[in-house]
Amino acid sequence: MQTRVLKPTEEAIAEAAQLLRQGELVAFPTETVYGLGANALDPEAVPKIFAAKGRPNDNPLIVHIGTLEAVQPLCYVDERARALMNAFWPGPLTILLPKKPIIPAVTNAGLPSVAIRMPSHPVALKLLRACGVPVAAPSANTSGRPSPTTAAHVLDDLNGKLSLILDGGACDVGVESTVVDMTAKVPTIVRPGGITLEMLQTVLSDARVADSVMRPLRKDEKAVSPGMMYRHYAPKGQLTLVKGGPDRVREVCQRLYTQAVADGKKTRVLVLEEHAPLYDGCETLTIGSLERPESIARELFAALRRMDDEEVQVMLCEAVPSEGIGLAIMNRMYRAAAFHVLEV
């Protein structure tokens, strides 16, 4: 199959909507990352997503909608979930709710819940409104790789596996949506993302973060959000996260850098903009600014992909504080590093 990349003109969006209605796959930009979409209600179309990504079929998909009315046939919405929708949709929040029978098992892995989100990217909204069906869409990467934040990333992973990519430029948020479980006793973030805990708590003060978010799964433990598997978002080389006071972190990164280079390994230190000047003599890559952590979220996946393109074998990465959007950044970094963390 030939994969075309089109600018999101009215005609291109209309064509993409038509392809979705016909049961084909289309990749499209959202404010978080690019999504790989199929008609969520078509049990023949959805399996194509799993095949293209090489995604295990026990990992449920997020169903995307373009209007508030579209939510009603899909799931049961209580007052508290409604309050979240009013506050954060369209936007980077995914809500887990009890599903209605219309959801085919292939879409939500046969679970009692379904994940619903209304993205805010204008191209995504236009597409969802034009196609008139809910669209199941995971991130448009090969399973396990860093999520795509540009159309070029999608093409790198999935060329030949879908007919059309709408190219809406680079994504603004850069990490995926926050997934909040509204079927739990207390609203629980099972994947941190674009909407922070602090933001959620302005609407639901009892909202909390699942403790599995910042640690590997225990043996035999079932993931609340199956996508938060052990190694994920991972570059091909070995990534080590280094956590602690800035001076100690720099010392340890420089020592490990020197060692790895002496072992003949292609090595980079992934550093915060503010610290870059301190790493004299090391090859570094700046991952954004501590002052503006949204910039780290925006750059992170592209930086990890760049490490693969440059065939870097050893990466040492400065950790960031786990507050606000930092929680989502660290959640992805931990998994990209397969929980290889040095506390110094």
Given the rule CB under 6 A, which residues bind ligand TXA?
Answer: 30, 32-33, 35, 59-62, 92, 94, 96, 108, 111, 113-115, 117, 119, 137-139, 176-177, 179, 191, 225-228
Is beta strand 35-39 parallel, antiparallel or unpaired with respect to 238-243?
unpaired
Q: Which residues does 8 contact at the CB level (< 8 Å), separation at least 6?
A: 28, 29, 123, 126, 166, 167, 168
Residue 267's binding partner out of Mg ion, ligand TXA, none, with CB under 5 to 8 Å set by partner kind: none
Give the residue with the Cβ less far from ligand TXA, 250 or 335: 335
Give the residue with the Cβ less far from ligand TXA, 95 or 242: 95
**Contact between residue 318 and residue 254 where contact means Cβ atoms under 8 Å apart:** no
Q: Is 335 exposed, middle or buried (0-12, 13-18, 19+ CB in 10 A)?
A: buried
Query: Which of 114, 96, 107 minimizes the C-alpha distance to 136?
Result: 107
Give the residue with the Cβ less far from ligand TXA, 191 or 305: 191
Q: What is the 3-state secondary structure (H, E, C) of 205-243?
A: CCCEECHHHHCCCCCCCCCCCCCCCCCCCCCCCEEEEEE
Residue 226's binding partner out of ligand TXA, Mg ion, none, with CB under 5 to 8 Å set by partner kind: ligand TXA
Residue 61's binding partner out of Mg ion, ligand TXA, none, with CB under 5 to 8 Å set by partner kind: ligand TXA
Minimum Å gap between C-beta 239 and ligand TXA is 20
Using the rule CB under 5 A, is 139 a contact of Mg ion?
A: yes
Minimum Å gap between C-beta 235 and ligand TXA is 17
Give the residue with the Cβ less far from ligand TXA, 45 or 272: 45
Minimum Å gap between C-beta 233 and Mg ion is 8
Strand partners, 180: 95, 189
Minimum Å gap between C-beta 53 and Mg ion is 8
Minimum Å gap between C-beta 62 and Mg ion is 9
What whole-number distance in Å separates Cα of residue 157 and Cα of residue 311?
16
What whole-number distance in Å separates Cα of residue 148 and Cα of residue 240?
22
Minimum Å gap between C-beta 121 and Mg ion is 16
Number of residues that bind Mg ion (CB under 5 A): 1
Going edge to edge, which strands form the sheet with 284-286? 284-286, 267-271, 314-318, 238-243, 341-343
The pair phi, psi for residue 343, each rounded to 5°, is -95, 115
Piece of 15-23, 134-142, 240-248, 262-270 that binds Mg ion (CB under 5 A): 134-142
Binding site for Mg ion (CB under 5 A): 139
